[in-house]
Structure 1
Amino acid sequence: MILTVRKHPYIAIGGVVIAVVFFIALAAPLLTKFNPLELNGKSRLLPPSLVHPMGTDHFGRDIMSRLLYGARTSMQVGISVVIISTIIGGLIGLAAGYYNKIDNLIMRILDGFMAFPGIIIAIILAAVWGAGKLNIILALSFAYFPQMARVVRGCVLTGKEWECVESAKSSGAKDGHILLKYILLNSLSPIIVQATFTFAVAILDEAALSFLGLGIEPPHPSWGGMITEGRSFMGVAPWGMIFPGTAIMVTVLGLNLLGDGLRDYLDPRLKV
């Protein structure tokens, strides 16, 4: 275990960062005594102090409490997007890679989606469907499932040539059994790596959508929404933007490091 950590420090660093974010998201009520939605006109724009370690915003709300509860929003959105995009993309990728007759049609449709940046698709869908956590999750899932589909399709195209798959076909095994037992279970490494990058992009894009007013509806705490609210008071209370911006940066960096580390660790070509 120690040798693995020394050889792949990105996994350790990224894993610790994400574990801390998950912990503060789950333990938010225990880590702060302030209600993130409580208004206090007498405590507007207070600088960081012992009472308010990260200061207060223009409504007198404790920034630290909003940051902790905002972590819940980011984790919920990230996990949901990963699950939905992996399921949809995985099913499409399995079908496209295994059945040659529909492969070309499916991939041309996915190419059409991928011709546009994912954030553009998410912005359009969020604008049409409206703000809210569920709509943001669906918009981001719809924007990023094509990448997962292409990863799974590539795994299937490679797996179809394995001897165990050919043997299963000749013995009369059903397609679903072959796809799940022989191909999908032996192709989890690239899927896991892609999932970590999707997680990072989902958190970053949720913050971007909230910053644009298309994400989590106020007054519910969201890191992107906190940056939007703090922008108007950047000159007198910069802590309103610094702390949520740092949280986004550290979380996305941790996920990217974890994804890079897992890619290096799980890639057999990089093993000695």
Structure 2
Amino acid sequence: MSGNRQKMKKFLNMVKSHPYIMIGGSLILVMVLAALAAPILTSFDPLEVSGKDRLLAPSSAHVMGTDHFGRDVMSRLLYGARVSIEVGLSVVVLSTLMGGIIGLIAGYYKKFDNVVMRILDGFMAFPGIIIAIMLAAIWGAGKLNIILALSFAYFPPMARVVRSCVISVKEWECVESAKAAGAKDGHIISKYILLNSLSPIIVQATFSFAVAILDEAALSFLGVGIEPPYPSWGGMITEGRAFMAIAPWEMVFPGLAIVITVLGLNLLGDGLRDLLDPRLKA
């Protein structure tokens, strides 16, 4: 027990020495807690329309004002955070699984490398958001379709990261010794290669999370994302464009939410890279 406590204390001290992790982690924690506590923080229904409360400025009754349908902006912002976090987390899990499997195969089995990576190069020739828009337009709007579209658009970078790690790790002496001892490929991959590739995978997943949240907002802004009237940050900005001059709060608050969340994830990713990458340690 004392050994585990010492390891935990050492890890916490390392984290504290990287301010980006502290700042980014704090911003993300605040957004996640706010999304989870939405029913406590606001009593308004995010879908409830009220004609007499249209375009009310921020006040004690409506902290962030109301939109052109009389819906409480703060309520829609908090419940929209749930959508953004759910989409981002789902995209990270799916793209990491797909990219991890493909990267492992391409990096460990040289005969598959050229074929697999040339296909991925073809995918990466186009910006991920363009692929996501195309797939979303084909499959239609909706949360599940957006998750699938973004996952297919952003698994190639993860595959390249995993492949480069595998190519590096499989040259280590411990891997060569395991091969000489007759260890099976599955054992080598799970015990040596995958475990020693987790650090860059975690960092890449953090950046993918930020991109997924940003692109979900972009897709909703373009009308191929979350279907109205369900709240999403990009959809709220789209709906507020026509009233920007008379009710700027309808766009400002969801825009700030996107900026804070993406900034927090990018800072967290930078901090984790500095912490986990041995090449950056003095």
TM-score range, shorter chain: over 0.9
| Residue 31 (structure 1) aligns with | 41
Letter in 2 for 1:65: S
Residue among 251, 256, 261 paired with 2:271: 261
Q: Deviations over 1:155-179 (max 9, x none)?
A: 1000110111111111111111111
Cα distance between partner residues in 1 of 2:50 and 2:188: 61
Superposed, 1:172-251 pairs within 5 Å as 172-251=182-261
The letter for the 2-side match of 1:37 is: L
What SS is found at the alignment partner of 2:87? helix
Q: Does 1:22 align with 2:40?
A: no
**Shift of residue 27 of structure 1?**
1.2
Q: Say if 2:148 is the partner of 1:131.
A: no
Which TM-score applies when normalising by structure 1?
Answer: 0.98
Is the deviation greater in 163-172 or in 130-139? 163-172
Identify the residue that residue 147 of structure 1 maps to in structure 2.
157
Kindly provide the amino acid, as one letter, of the partner of residue 204 in structure 1.
L
1:78 aligns with 2:88: yes
In structure 1, the partner of 2:170 is 160
- 2:183 partner amino acid: A
Residue identity matched to 1:134: L
Question: d(CA) in 2 for partners of 1:114 and 1:231?
Answer: 32
Displacement of 1:4 in angstroms is 3.1
Counterpart AA for 2:247:
A
Aligned AA (1:27) = A
Displacement of 1:187 in angstroms is 1.1
1:10 corresponding residue in structure 2: 20
Cα offset, 1:3, TM superposition: 4.7
Q: Distance in 1 between matches of 2:87 and 2:187?
A: 32
The Cα shift of 1:7 comes to 2.9
When structure 1 is superposed on structure 2, of 109-118 and 171-180 the one drifting more is 171-180
Displacement of 1:49 after TM fit? 0.2
Moved over 2 A (4+): 1-7
How many angstroms does 1:24 deviate by? 1.1
Q: How far is 1:153 from its partner?
A: 0.2
Question: What TM-score, normalized by structure 2, do the two folds share?
Answer: 0.95
Cα distance in 1 for residues equivalent to 2:25 and 2:36: 16
Amino-acid identity (%) = 77
Measured after TM superposition, the shift of residue 212 of structure 1 is: 0.2
Alpha-carbon distance between aligned partners in 2 of 1:86 and 1:154, rounded to the nearest angstrom: 15
Higher mean C-alpha displacement, 25-34 vs 82-91: 25-34
Is residue 15–residue 275 contact of structure 2 (8 Å, CA) maintained in 1? Answer: no
1:53 paired to 2:63: yes
Picking from 91, 107, 115, the partner of 2:125 is 115
Unmatched segments (≥5 aa) in structure 1: none
- Which amino acid is the alignment partner of residue 207 of structure 1? A
Matched, 1:62 2:72: yes
Q: CA RMSD in A?
A: 0.9
Question: Residues 123-159 of structure 1: CA distance to partner in whole angstroms, max 9, x if unpaired?
Answer: 0000000000000000000000000000000010001
CA distance in 1, matches of 2:150, 2:15: 33
Q: What code does the residue aligned with 1:46 have?
A: L
